[in-house]
Amino acid sequence: MLDVQHLSFTARSGRVILDDISLQVQPGEVLAIIGPNGAGKSTLAKSITGLEQAHSQTMTLAGRSLTTMNRVTRARHIAYLPQITSPVPSSVFDAVLLGRRPHMHWLPGAKDRFKVVEILDELGMKSMAQVCVTRLSGGEMQKVLIARALVQETPVLILDEPINHLDIRNQIEILDCVVRMTTKRKMCTLLVLHHLSYAMRYAQKTLLLHQGRQFFFGPSQDVSAESLSQVYAIPITLHTIHGVPHALF
């Protein structure tokens, strides 16, 4: 289990970005992190990865402290896909192979290459292995980046807005893939999302942030229209369609 307790983060300017955030994610579970722009979603993701130095916090994974790990060791436990990633001209295979860096000594070995072939096959991307990433569509490139994160073989996967700027079909394909791999690999997956209906459809738990504070944390089906309306400052209603709640504005 990923267990984060009392995480706070203050910018150099003195502005409090996150204030006393706690969450727990079980293996095989997806947590959606939602909230308006500026609520602290990306800062929370970076703080858990160690890219931002939070304070007043305890973070453990399967009972082992994450805060005492060095960067390489933490990279073997947490895979992170940021909001913006600029592709460097290379083959799909080599782009995904970069995800094996925490496991390499100097050069990739046979095991690293085998893992790349394995994940590309698992995601139905084997035929694209030698295609240059600059020739890919937005949806294809996002799948490559997710493959790079998955090939790290970490128990924790953090994706910051992985479906931004994608059409509906690619959004669904990518989220279906993430949920499938989370279940299969028993990962603790954190998804930063703006789409409220997707959060309730794909995540077992939801963390709702408001001005850096934890407004709600719990089962996704327990998020109320009142809470969403208050945080987003617009009227929001929830309707269940085919057993899945949808947020309507």
Q: What domains are there in the chain, each with its CATH number?
A: 2-86+154-248 (3.40.50.300)
Q: Which of 224, 218, 205 is nearest to 28 (CA)?
A: 205
Question: pLDDT confidence of 158, banded at 50, 70, 90?
Answer: very high
Q: What is the pLDDT of residue 14?
A: 86
Q: What is the pLDDT of residue 80?
A: 95
pLDDT of 96 higher than 70 = yes
Q: How large is the average pLDDT for residues 15-33?
A: 96
Contact 92, 144 (CB under 8 A): yes
Q: What is the pLDDT of residue 56?
A: 67
Joined tokens for residue 133: 């990433």
Q: Which of 30, 76, 64, 23 is nearest to 47 (CA)?
A: 23
Joined tokens for residue 52: 């931002």
Q: What is the pLDDT of residue 6?
A: 93
Query: Which residue's structure tokens are 């949808």?
Result: 246
**Percent of the chain residues past pLDDT 90, beyond the cut:** 69
Q: What is the pLDDT of residue 244?
A: 79
pLDDT of 246 higher than 90 = no
| pTM for the model | 0.93
Q: Which of 208, 216, 223 is nearest to 41 (CA)?
A: 208
Instruction: State the burial class of residue 72 (Cβ atoms within 10 Å of its Cβ: 0-12, 13-18, 19+).
Output: exposed
Contact 4, 31 (CB under 8 A): no
pLDDT tens, 36-95? 999 999 999 999 998 888 876 788 998 888 888 888 888 889 999 998 777 789 999 999
pLDDT tens, 197-237? 999 999 999 999 999 999 999 999 999 999 999 999 999 99
User: Given strand 2-10, what is the order of strands in its sheet?
Assistant: 64-65, 58-61, 2-10, 16-25, 213-219, 205-210, 29-34, 188-192, 156-160, 78-81
Q: What is the pLDDT of residue 71?
A: 84
